[in-house]
Amino acid sequence: MSKALFGAAAFNEKLVNEPGSRSRLETPAAVLDLDLFEHNVALMARTCRDAGLNLRPHAKSHKCAEIARRQIAAGALGICCAKPGELLALFEGGVRDLLLSAPIASSTKIDSLARAAAAGGRIGVVVDRADLAAAYAEAARRHATTLDVLVDLDVGLKRSGVATPAEATELAKLVSGLDGLRYRGVQAYQGRVQHIDDFAARRAANREMGRLLASMLDALRAAGFQPEVVSGGGTGSHLLDGEDRLLTEIQAGSYVFMDEAYGSVDMHGRGGPEFKPALRIAVTVIGHSSLGFAITDGGSKSFALDGPPPRVFLGDEQVGRIEWCGDEFGRILPADGRGPPSIGSVVECTVPHCDPTINLHDVLHVVRGQELVALWHVEARGRAD
Ligand SMILES: Cc1ncc(COP(=O)(O)O)c(C=O)c1O
C-alpha cells in the first residue's frame, strides 16, 4: 500500500504473508476476514441480481476505496456516501460513480462536489429544498458539468426528504428545469425498518413505507416526472425491497461486515444464506484479575459501543464477552466454565456497530485463514464532514 502507515499497522505490515500472522498482530487492529467478506459481497450482489434490483452499496459502513471497488467489480453500479468528505475521499481513491445520500447546506461542499463531477466523476446528489437544487445547478454550470439529482423523499424516517406528493412533484419540476442538473428520480430510505428483528413485523413496516412511497411515485408519474431511479433500502430490508417493485436500487451498507446490532435481525423468516461477521477487532490480553476477568488493550477508542457487547474469540472458539471498562481497555468476562485467555494472547472481538467502529481505524488488516494477506487503507476514516 502506498500511503504511510503508523502505529500497530506499521509493525503489522511486516507480517503480511507470514504463516500464522493473524494471531501475532500488534493491536488494537481492525481485522477483515477475506473469505467471509467475499461471501457477503457475492451474496448481496446475487440476491439483488436475482430480484431484478440494482445495488448501490453504502460506503458509510466501510469508508474504504478497495472495498468499494470490489463491490463494483461484483456488480454494484456505484456507491453511496453519507457526507461530502466521505465521497471525496473515495473519489480520490479512484471510485467514480458516487451518490451523496444526504442533503447539505454549504456552498464550499457543493462546489467541491461539482468539481469532482468536472474531474470525471459521475456524481449524484439528493435534494429536499429548492435552494439546494438551485445551488447545485449553479455550481455545476460554474464547472461546466452536470450533477445527477434524486429528489429525497421522507417515507417515515423523519430525517431528510420532502414529506408530501405535492412537494415531491414541485421539486422534481424545478430540478428538471435547471441547467446543470439531470433529474434521475428519487431517494426513499426507510431507515426505521432496517433493524426490526422480527421478519413479519419488518415486512409489515416496509409495506407501510411502500404505500407512502407509492403515493409519491404516482403523483410524480402523473405530473410527467417518471423516476428512472428509486433508491433506498438497506441490509435489513433488502430481501423485502423487491416485493412491491417500488425501489430500483438498494443502498445496503452493513452487509459487508455485519455487526452485533444486526445479529438479532431475522433476515429471512425462513432460513437461508446469511451474511457473516467479517469484521473483528483484534485486541491483546494485558491483565488478569483474581476476580476472574481479563483486561484487553481495546476500549471505546477501538469499538463503537452502541450495540450489543462484543463476543470474544480465540481462534474459532468463543471465550467470552467484552464489557466496557474504559476508553482504552476492555474487560473480558469469560464464558461459563472457562478461565480468561492467557496474558499476551491476541483475541478477536465482534463489533457492536460496524459504521462508527470502522471510523476509528486507519487500516483494515485483511486475513485469509490464519494469515495476514494485505492492509487496506480506510481512506474516508474520520471524514464525517
Ligand atoms: C441513506 C442510507 N442508506 C443506506 C443505509 C445502509 O443501511 P444498512 O447499513 O442498514 O445496510 C443507511 C444507513 O444508515 C443510510 O443512512
CA of residue 233 to ligand 1 center, whole Å: 7
Q: How many alpha carbons lie under 13 Å from residue 319 in its C-beta half-sphere?
A: 22
CA of residue 148 to ligand 1 center, whole Å: 20
Q: Which residues pair with 363 in a beta bridge?
A: 377
Which helix (H) or strand (E) element contains residue 174?
helix 165-176
Q: Which of 189, 262, 351 to mutate to test the pocket of ligand 1 (most atoms within 8 A of CB)?
A: 189
Which helix (H) or strand (E) element contains residue 212?
helix 199-222
CA of residue 43 to ligand 1 center, whole Å: 18
| Cell 481497555, located at residue | 329
CA of residue 157 to ligand 1 center, whole Å: 12
CA of residue 179 to ligand 1 center, whole Å: 30
pLDDT at res. 54: 98
Name the residue with the closest Cα to ligand 1, atom 2: 189
Which residues, 6 or more positions from 159, have their beta carbon under 8 angstroms from its beta carbon? 191
Which residues, 6 or more positions from 216, have their beta carbon under 8 angstroms from its beta carbon? 153, 155, 164, 165, 168, 186, 188
- Please state the atom number of ligand 1 nearest to the C-alpha of residue 234: 11
CA of residue 347 to ligand 1 center, whole Å: 29
CA of residue 105 to ligand 1 center, whole Å: 21
Q: Is the peptide bond before 28 cis (omega within 30 degrees of 0)?
A: yes
Indicate yes or no: pTM above 0.85: yes
pLDDT in tens, 24-65: 999 999 999 999 999 999 999 999 999 999 999 999 999 999
- Please state the atom number of ligand 1 nearest to the C-alpha of residue 189: 1
Integer-rounded Cα Rg, in Å, for the chain is 22
The angle that helices 84-92 and 65-73 make with each other, rounded to 10 degrees, is 70
pLDDT in tens, 280-327: 999 999 999 999 999 999 999 999 999 999 999 999 999 999 999 999
Spell out the domain ranges in the chain.
7-33+274-377, 36-257
Query: CA 195 to CA 104: how far, in whole Å?
Result: 26
CATH 2.40.37.20 assigned to 7-33+274-377: yes
Q: Which of 47, 60, 187, 197 to mutate to test the pocket of ligand 1 (most atoms within 8 A of CB)?
A: 60
pLDDT at res. 1: 57
pLDDT at res. 2: 64
Q: 340 phi and psi, to 5 degrees?
A: -70, 150
DSSP strand pairing (346-350 vs 147-152): unpaired
- Please state the atom number of ligand 1 nearest to the C-alpha of residue 355: 9
Name the residue with the closest Cα to ligand 1, atom 4: 251
15, 372 in Cβ contact below 8 A? Answer: yes
- Please state the atom number of ligand 1 nearest to the C-alpha of residue 233: 4
Query: CA 212 to CA 1: how far, in whole Å?
Result: 47
Fold held by 36-257: TIM Barrel (3.20.20)
CA of residue 235 to ligand 1 center, whole Å: 8
CA of residue 263 to ligand 1 center, whole Å: 16
pLDDT at res. 197: 95
What DSSP line would sit under 89-114, residue for residue? Answer: HHHHTT--EEEE-S----HHHHHHHH
In the sheet with 97-100, reading across from the earlier edge strand, the strands are 54-55, 249-250, 229-232, 181-188, 147-152, 122-127, 97-100, 79-81
The angle that helices 165-176 and 199-222 make with each other, rounded to 10 degrees, is 50
Name the residue with the closest Cα to ligand 1, atom 3: 251
Pocket of ligand 1 (CB under 6 A): 58, 60-61, 80, 101, 189, 191, 194, 234-236, 251-254
CA of residue 253 to ligand 1 center, whole Å: 6
Name the residue with the closest Cα to ligand 1, atom 14: 191
- Please state the atom number of ligand 1 nearest to the C-alpha of residue 254: 9
Cell of 329: 481497555
Digitized pLDDT (tens) for each residue of the chain, 385 residues in all: 568 898 999 999 999 999 999 999 999 999 999 999 999 999 999 999 999 999 999 999 999 999 999 999 999 999 999 999 999 999 999 999 999 999 999 999 999 999 999 999 999 999 999 999 999 999 999 999 999 999 999 999 999 999 999 999 999 999 999 999 999 999 999 999 999 999 999 999 999 999 999 999 999 999 999 999 999 999 999 999 999 999 999 999 999 999 999 999 999 997 877 999 999 999 999 999 999 999 999 999 999 999 999 999 999 999 999 999 999 999 999 999 999 999 999 999 999 999 999 999 999 999 999 999 999 999 999 999 9
Which residues, 6 or more positions from 377, have their beta carbon under 8 angstroms from its beta carbon? 1, 3, 64, 65, 66, 93, 362, 363, 364
- Please state the atom number of ligand 1 nearest to the C-alpha of residue 262: 10
